[in-house]
Structure 1
Amino acid sequence: MASNKQTEIALAAVKLFEQKGYHATSVQDIADEVGLQKGSLYHYIHSKEDLLLHIAHEAISEFNQRLERILNSDIPAEEKVIQAIENHITVSVSNLQTTTVLLREAFSLGEPQHQVIQDLTDRYLELWTEIIRQGKEDGEFSTSQSRVTALALLGACNWVYRWFKPDGKLTAEEVSREFSQVFLHGLLK
């Protein structure tokens, strides 16, 4: 379990990585943000890269756990897609800085840390693909390419972090409903 100071350091790193980028953020920047000497910061973290790995791992793990619950629920595939879209968008926008770090900065990790996040990201895609595949097998969906459909859904959902404004015209739930409408019923009348 993380100490209060470790949590404070992680939150400061998320803020700085989101604002400045991982490479432009120094360990000194993080230490300054939490009011520690650089040497004292290493009492709480091993390296800046381990901090990024921790942040990305927690973020993608939350996405996976939530989607696994949706996938394993006893509801029609259409409702699973609606819940999955709403889950992805609401989690993304309620943790906008962390989502930004996951989607934009996790690529900065070296091996084998990057592979850990890549494996979890691949798992997330597999869960989405399985929902689409179930809908196809149950006769709910007409797609011929479950994985490509899942990639399209994820591409749209992932991009929300770039344009969504918490104080904007639409709520996360309204954006989710619009995405569900487009993906499940298309643009044609």
Structure 2
Amino acid sequence: MRDEISAYKRERILEEAVKLFYERGFSGTTLDDIAGKLGVTKPFIYTHFRSKVELLEAVCRPTIEMSLNAIAQAAQHEGTAADRLHRGVVDFTKVVLQRQGNIAVYFREEKHLSEAGLAEINALRKRFDRVLSDLLQEGVNNGEFQIEDIRVAALAIGGMVSWAYTWYQPEGRLSFDDISARLAHFVLQMVAAQPAAVPAET
């Protein structure tokens, strides 16, 4: 029970930090600001995070980890390369849309991360690109995809989906699931997936 309460308190700190970092920027937000929103004192935050930079890293890193997991789990699933790519992009897109504030803070405030924190996140991003590249290469090898440059294709896919945080509107014309499915379909078009290999949209 104690661990659950501690995890809940930590999550509440992160929730308020994301909101304030998003609205005011990292430099424009103090730990006192975050504590005030929570109705606590600054020492309460220090029991969970040693500094504002460590808090920023805790806001940014999980989104990269979740994105990597989405692609890695899809790549390991059964099915054709196209099936797995479609699934991976759908799940990756959902991570980006669900954590829109977190990813916005990451792209805006990356310069404030510690050297070690940035290195850790960059390593996760490289693993993401490698897993996605391997899946694309598999599709090329078995004749499902036609891609001239695997590396560029992986970067383009990652960039296209990640950038959805800038235009996604929860109350917009397309639903959460619609956007995820359409981006996955666009990705299959990008890699020239053969018609028989393209999963039907639902």
- 2:89 equivalent among 62, 85, 91: 85
Task: Output the aligned Cα RMSD.
Answer: 1.9
1:142 aligns with 2:173: no
- 1:11 equivalent among 4, 9, 15: 15
1:174 aligns with 2:178: yes
Partner of 1:162: 166
Alignment partners' CA distance in 1, 2:41 and 2:104: 27
Structure 1 residue 152: Cα displacement = 0.9
Alignment partners' CA distance in 1, 2:128 and 2:110: 15
Structure 1 residue 16: Cα displacement = 1.1
Alignment partners' CA distance in 1, 2:69 and 2:114: 25
Give 1:6-155 correspondences, 5 Å limit: 6-155=10-159
Structure 1 residue 9: Cα displacement = 0.9
Unaligned 5+ runs, structure 1: none
Offset from partner CA, 1:9-66 (integer Å, 9 cap, x none)? 1111111112222222111111111112223432332001111112222221111122
Unaligned 5+ runs, structure 2: 193-202
The count of corresponding residues between Structure 1 and Structure 2 is 187
Following superposition, which runs of at least 4 residues in structure 1 exceed 6 angstroms of deviation? none
Secondary structure in 2 matching 1:112: helix
Q: Contact 1:89–1:172 at 8 Å: present in 2 too?
A: no
Alignment partners' CA distance in 2, 1:170 and 1:40: 41
Partner amino acid for 2:33? D
CA shift in 2, pair 1:167/1:142, >3 Å: same
Q: Contact 2:73–2:88 at 8 Å: present in 1 too?
A: no
Offset from partner CA, 1:83-104 (integer Å, 9 cap, x none)? 1221121121122222322333
Structure 1 residue 72: Cα displacement = 0.8
CA shift in 2, pair 1:38/1:95, >3 Å: same
Q: Contact 2:78–2:84 at 8 Å: present in 1 too?
A: no
Secondary structure in 1 matching 2:20: helix
Alignment partners' CA distance in 2, 1:97 and 1:143: 33
The more displaced of 91-100 and 118-127 is 91-100
CA shift in 2, pair 1:78/1:72, >3 Å: same
CA shift in 2, pair 1:76/1:4, >3 Å: same
Alignment partners' CA distance in 1, 2:111 and 2:174: 30
Q: Contact 2:71–2:89 at 8 Å: present in 1 too?
A: no
Query: TM-score with structure 1 length normalisation?
Result: 0.90
Structure 1 residue 165: Cα displacement = 0.4
